[in-house]
Amino acid sequence: MNINKVGVIGSGTMGIGIAQVASTNGCEVFLYDIDFERTQAALENLNQLLRKLAGKGKLTLEEAEGIISRIKIAKNLQDLQDSDLVIEAIVENKEIKTKVYADLENIVSAQCILASNTSSISITSLSSGLKNSERFIGIHFFNPAPLMPLVEIIPGLLTDKKLPEVVYQLIKSWKKTPVIAQDNPGFIVNRIARPFYGEALRIVEEKIATPEQVDDAMKTLGNFKMGPFELMDLIGIDVNYAVTTTVYKDYYYDPKYKPSLLQQRMSEARLLGRKTGKGFYDYSENAQKPIPEKDEELYEKIFMRIISMLINEAVEAKRLKIATDEDIDLAMQKGVNYPKGLLAWGKEIGYEKISATLRNLFEEYQEERYRQSPLLKNLK
């Protein structure tokens, strides 16, 4: 199947990025948003950015102009009628999204693939109201879409069995790293990554260590590019909190994903990280980043606690076959920049050591949060 005409709905953070990716790879893009001015502004920003990059020699001026000229602003949904594929990236609201699909189904051809970039809504639930649910699939880009290689492809229960492969090939041809994920809350990355934030927050809430110590431990012992608190400040503490809350609720309040009160309070105080100038760190002009008090024994404890929780989550995803082992490891490296895949890392550290760390945590806290994946004890 040839996919040359791509409709993108929503010209916010994700929509304009997805439009750029499709256009860069030669597709004709129709970009629609209810807010026409927002789309104009987004396209103008992209124009300036690409010209700046061309000035620096990152691409030629012709390439930059080509990317811009292939993106057409759609004045209404009707303008998307010739699309081979439509990717929706509007507000994270099920009712609003499904209303758009109902309108869209009457406009596009019967062959047109419909996709959502949702981070947290079940693909099956988004598809079930459609006249043709088989053509619907999740295509989940990461922020910023033009830079992050990973794209999760999520077939719902009603999706045509051949569609994931078609989309996989398309995303590969767009020079991205596709992985196929089961339609579970958080898909692969947003589920497996939860303890990176959640366990770090607990360590700080319990006054075992400071945010800068946790960040330093994860960077020095784990080679993570950013520590959990630096990363939460970048993502936005409110956004990160909302993802955790959704995953927690959607797994029927599994204590493993219980959100942090500290994070809730920070959201309430609008200490949201870089975007408000202050989060776990201060981003104001003359602010000094606190220097962590190094403590070898404490750092080892922090690292083992967080990495064991992460590896346990990856092992549980493997057990439930949320994705293949290769895709589970690839997703964490290409979606959130982990230095290694977690399954490979578990093997390297030794699954017995991971299991012992979790057993000690469970004994200490008597909380189900620290239960082990049944598969963990069978892994060597």
Ligand X SMILES: NC(=O)c1ccc[n+]([C@@H]2O[C@H](COP(=O)([O-])OP(=O)(O)OC[C@H]3O[C@@H](n4cnc5c(N)ncnc54)[C@H](O)[C@@H]3O)[C@@H](O)[C@H]2O)c1
- As annotated, the active-site residues are 119, 140, 152, 190
Sheet holding 136-141, edge to edge: 71-73, 28-32, 5-9, 85-88, 113-116, 136-141, 150-155, 177-180
323 or 358, CB closer to ligand X? 323
For 132-201, the DSSP string reads -GGGEEEEEE-SSTTT--EEEEEE-TTS-TTHHHHHHHHHHHTT-EEEE--SSTTTTHHHHTHHHHHHHH
How far apart are CB 93 and ligand X at their closest, in Å? 8
Element housing 122 (H / E) = none
The residue among 223, 123, 220 whose CA lies nearest residue 164 is 123
33 or 212, CB closer to ligand X? 33
35 or 268, CB closer to ligand X? 35
How far apart are CB 177 and ligand X at their closest, in Å? 15
CA distance 313 to 198: 12
How far apart are CB 82 and ligand X at their closest, in Å? 18
End-to-end CA distance of the chain: 43
101 or 338, CB closer to ligand X? 101
User: Rg for the chain (alpha carbons), in Å?
Assistant: 22
CA distance 241 to 288: 26
How far apart are CB 339 and ligand X at their closest, in Å? 22
Residue ranges that bind ligand X, judged by CB under 6 A: 9-15, 33-35, 38, 89-92, 96, 100, 117-119, 141, 143
**Cis status, amide bond into 290, omega within 30 of 0:** no
How far apart are CB 176 and ligand X at their closest, in Å? 13
How far apart are CB 203 and ligand X at their closest, in Å? 25
90 or 336, CB closer to ligand X? 90
18 or 217, CB closer to ligand X? 18
Please return the burial class of 111, using the count of CB atoms within 10 Å of its CB with bins 0-12, 13-18 and 19+.
exposed
What is the distance of C-alpha 264 from the center of its chain?
20
CA distance 131 to 135: 10
